[in-house]
Structure 1
């Protein structure tokens, strides 16, 4: 059953939407400043190395943040599906924001040697755990509190916050680059964007404290309670039948050897004590005690996990291509100065942020969610190699237009993603399922894309064609998953 926003008081609903926004903003603000400062941070944490090795090293640590995301998805998914969405979202934003600030305080390689990149990787691992629970839980929460006719539009607000976080990160990085120059940037300038995260962190904690639960979650708790009472009763009846059968055998023997019947009385008392009806009330009082969402998830929803993870192949790869990998690619292979690449990403993400809610609105008006995603991805796959050949022209205008085209296509697919993927799972395992599949897909196809395409260029010397082939393959995976989704999960397309 769909929840209604009016189930939550208006003031608390507004606070909840702001809380989701601030948490998502800090999450993507951090990722943005990391990706936009890779050129500086590679020199800070890996000095003296070959530029190609530096790039591989810093993108490798970037990928580390994705390795722990599936683990975080299961941990926070369990919390969100058992203890509540609000607690999950509060703890995840704390675990995301604190390491961001700590990164700004880390010693450089010159100060601490190999311990410096090791500490950076550790912070990225912790952030990966937090992101594993943060973004998926936020998408599910937005989906659950939305009116039925605005499911896609409300769910898309999470990606609007993503866009705002990216834009904020780019503006801060640009401000630092323009005001801090030369050696000062390597010494302390790169730290400023990370330390500023403390502002949004405090705001997110205040807003996320004591968030109201969605009606769908509350109803799912009642359904799970009822299901566990039913299972408990079945187990009790089974034990009772076994106990009565065993006691009946003992009783026959005991009657034959007891003249005064005392043994019969003792045995009857034992039967009464073994009757589970006497303790059923206490057992039913805590039916949630042994509920493990991940077991329920893999027992009955493994196909949904696989389909969702593959569905995100091109979506994740396209996003990290357009907003994180292309800026350094343009600087190195198209001769575009780094400050200019920041403005290219900034303008592209402004357009991205505008297209996301438009996609959600169109979906709510009846445009098939999965069908539209499939055709957008087909276009993306067909144009991937020609797009990279366009980059080879080194034309500033063409590079910018192609980058915006990628981000627009990604924006449309992301605008409908929460409504599509939330409909794969019932409420009782929704955060666990959405989070695990989302983060597995993003880790495998999205987070590794910058590293893989950099490795392709380094090892094959195929600067333009190789990455284009990779993106075509990612599009093919998403298209196949869309076809399967239309057949196995038709509700996702409505």
Structure 2
């Protein structure tokens, strides 16, 4: 029979903290890679054409994301077969090791073609580990949360994501302020990656005594593996999860990752100014996320998902237009608008992905459905945006891509049944 183990003596806050902190490391790493993509491109993919170096750096970013679906298969299976805690511990170790290794990796000028090859391998390892971390943590926290507060409490997993990006922005801003653009490009970009290793040790200490929410399936339960069962019986739910982030996921990587390079290289914003803008907009996301989770507990998830999808169809282009104006104020207004849309969706994501699937396949189904979108659509968004602009000559071309994805979001959730406040199956 299925073994379930929720540790009674543990503090009620322990699962929330232990589950959320891994997201800090996960998204801290991806944030700093995106923010320092221009420097990494020049050092590991040298070219006489700056656009070529930037495209190469974002291609490596996309490769890491492409590994996420594979990681979702691995860590989803581990979470359903051997328990959520074990899967989360393994993922954070792999994540921290890859981040730390980037900090000490020699450049192309030092070891030649081996440098980009090793960088790609490290990004693949990081992508594999990320494939199970976010959804595993979301499932873990949701399984510990009371049904009537599931949206609010599970939203702290996303709050950890925001915290990771804010921390990455802060470390980046301090590094740039202390060393200047030349110092950052030469060697200062390594400092944030090294700090990621320190964060990993902190997370490991916090997770050491985390209670289990689902101890895993015994051998007798596995007449059909979790992976086979989820593809056979729950493919519709996985499609709903993919639609859940079809708009918000790519939005984040276009607005907060791809645009960072645009602001610096085309509009000539300094790294410090870019980081400051991001800190403000990410702070807004941090405020909106728990509010969204709380309101969805009271009024349901579905109305908010549909409302944001409609708003995305209407507001994406004007916000993207403002994002590309040579004015700090206009760029900030654009990012605040996107921040509200993004925060509203992602405040409900952790609870929703847990509610759509039964316990025995929850980790597998959530990880596969979520990472299918994040790996294949969101992860390639910076690369695709760069290509679209180069191909069309229109800096606003990525906005039409986002509008299309807002439509996918709406279609996916138009007929979704409400499950907020109900016990998990």
Give the TM-score band, short-chain normalised. Answer: over 0.9
The residue aligned with 2:77 is 78
SS for the counterpart of 1:402 is helix
1:353 and 1:392 map into 2 onto residues whose CA distance is 24
Superposed CA offset, 1:154-194 (max 9, x none): 11000111111111111111111111236543342111111
2:226 and 2:147 map into 1 onto residues whose CA distance is 25
In the alignment, structure 1 residue 306 sits paired with structure 2 residue 239: yes
Q: CA deviation at 1:291?
A: 4.8
2:265 and 2:190 map into 1 onto residues whose CA distance is 24
Unaligned runs of 5+ in 1: 226-285
Give the 5 Å matches for 1:367-446.
367-446=299-378
The residue aligned with 2:60 is 61
SS for the counterpart of 1:44 is helix
Give the 5 Å matches for 1:314-329.
314-329=247-262
The residue aligned with 2:130 is 131
1:45/1:116 contact within 8 Å kept: yes
1:98 and 1:393 map into 2 onto residues whose CA distance is 39
Larger Rg: 1
TM-score (norm 1): 0.81
2:133 and 2:325 map into 1 onto residues whose CA distance is 40
1:435 and 1:357 map into 2 onto residues whose CA distance is 22
1:391 and 1:493 map into 2 onto residues whose CA distance is 38
Superposed CA offset, 1:415-468 (max 9, x none): 01122221111000000000111011112221111111110001111112x111
Give the 5 Å matches for 1:92-491.
92-181=91-180, 183-214=182-213, 217=214, 221=217, 286-288=219-221, 290-365=223-298, 367-464=299-396, 466-484=397-415, 486=416, 489-491=417-419
Q: CA deviation at 1:54?
A: 1.2
2:54 and 2:419 map into 1 onto residues whose CA distance is 43
Give the 5 Å matches for 1:37-52.
37-52=36-51
1:153/1:360 contact within 8 Å kept: yes
Aligned length: 419
Superposed CA offset, 1:291-314 (max 9, x none): 510011111011111222123110
1:442 and 1:186 map into 2 onto residues whose CA distance is 29
1:422/1:434 contact within 8 Å kept: yes
Which of structures 1 and 2 has the larger relative contact order (alpha carbons within 8 angstroms, sep 6+)? 2
Give the 5 Å matches for 1:17-56.
17-56=16-55
SS for the counterpart of 2:356 is coil
Unaligned runs of 5+ in 2: none
Higher helix share: 1
Q: Mark the CA change 1:493 to 1:461 in structure 2 (over 3 Å): closer, same or farther.
A: farther
The residue aligned with 1:9 is 9
1:421 and 1:304 map into 2 onto residues whose CA distance is 9
1:72/1:132 contact within 8 Å kept: yes
1:22/1:200 contact within 8 Å kept: no
RMSD (CA atoms):
2.0
Q: CA deviation at 1:118?
A: 1.1
Superposed CA offset, 1:70-108 (max 9, x none): 111111111100110000000000011110000001110
2:139/2:362 contact within 8 Å kept: yes
2:158/2:350 contact within 8 Å kept: no
Q: CA deviation at 1:384?
A: 1.8
